[in-house]
Amino acid sequence: MSPNALIPSHRKPRRPSASSRALRAGVTGGFLTLAVTGATVPANAAEKPVSETQEMPTITTALATSAARSADTAEQVAFNYERQALQDSAFSHAAKAAEKHKAEAVKKAKAAAKKKAEEARKAKEAAEARASRSSDRSTLSAPASNATGSSATLVAFLKAQLGKAYVLGSSGPSSYDCSGLTQAAFNQIGIDLPRVSQDQSTAGTQVGLDNLQVGDILYWGSAGSAYHVGVYVGGGKFIGAQNPSTGIVERPLDYDMPTGAVRVL
């Protein structure tokens, strides 16, 4: 045993420092609680624990969720405005495009209608022209048998001369030249014609080739200076003394289309 073991200590027990404090912390009701004890007290005062409490706000899950929702809402509103603006722009462009297409369609429709009217007009004119030509052909193709009186006598004489020879300057009865044949034919019905083609081409009234009648005198060349004559016998045909190689023949008008015609009947 130490020799000093029973010697009482003369040191006083250590008292808590006046400035020492104890810190307690806790969470109450969502706030951070700080408890401070051991506040400085006078030396002669009774030692009592002193508590000082400070509350600091904390971010709760509900608050964070609310803030996130507010941000989402703002973003959605901005998106809606942007989408509406895009829709309005698209509608505007679509309306302008539709108006343009409508104008073009109206223009095309008018052009098509005009073209159709023009085609209808041309078709009508063509139909009228065909009808006129058909009428002309009907007139020209009327059979010689329809000829009556002096016309029938004239045609009968001419047909009786078919196949006879062509001889320049001849007036029949076995051969003829072109003007000799026409002079002899009209003598059969009491009409005295000049002897040569030039004079026969002006012996009667000038008529159009689209209005021929049986017995009209056809001529080739100009009136007053014709170089050939024949007689229209109906059915779109004529009889004439053509040339030495063919003699007196019957031919369609388009075989050798005449220049004009005169009417003496």
Q: What is the distance between the terminal CA atoms of the chain, rounded to a whole angstrom?
A: 191
Residue 70 belongs to a domain? no
> Which range has the worst mean pLDDT, 1-10, 53-62, 75-84, 157-166?
1-10
Residue 89 belongs to a domain? no
Domain that holds residue 194: 144-263
Indicate the burial class of 111 (C-beta count within 10 angstroms; 0-12, 13-18, 19 or more): exposed
Residue 49 belongs to a domain? no
CB 60 within 8 A of CB 80: no
| pLDDT tens for each residue of 50-72 | 444 455 555 567 666 776 777 77
Tell me the average pLDDT of the chain. Answer: 78
CATH of the domain at 195: 3.90.1720.10
| pLDDT tens for each residue of 198-220 | 999 999 999 999 999 999 999 99
Q: How many domains does the chain have?
A: 1
Residue 135 has pLDDT above 80, yes or no: no
Query: Alpha-carbon distance 50 to 36, whole Å?
Result: 7
Residue 202 belongs to a domain? yes
> Could you tell me the two tokens for 29?
């009701």
Residue 12 belongs to a domain? no
List CB contacts of 116: < 8 A, sequence separation 6 or more: none
> Could you tell me the two tokens for 154?
């004239």
pLDDT attached to residue 64: 67
177 or 80, which is more confident: 177
Residue 24 belongs to a domain? no
Distance of CA 219 to the CA centre of its chain: 53
Residue 188 belongs to a domain? yes
> Which range has the worst mean pLDDT, 4-13, 19-28, 115-124?
19-28
CB 39 within 8 A of CB 61: no
Residue 171 belongs to a domain? yes
pLDDT attached to residue 109: 87
DSSP letters for 2-38: -TTTTSPP-PPPPPPPTT--EEEEEEETTEEEEEEE-
pLDDT attached to residue 241: 97
* Residues, the chain: 265
CB 249 within 8 A of CB 237: no
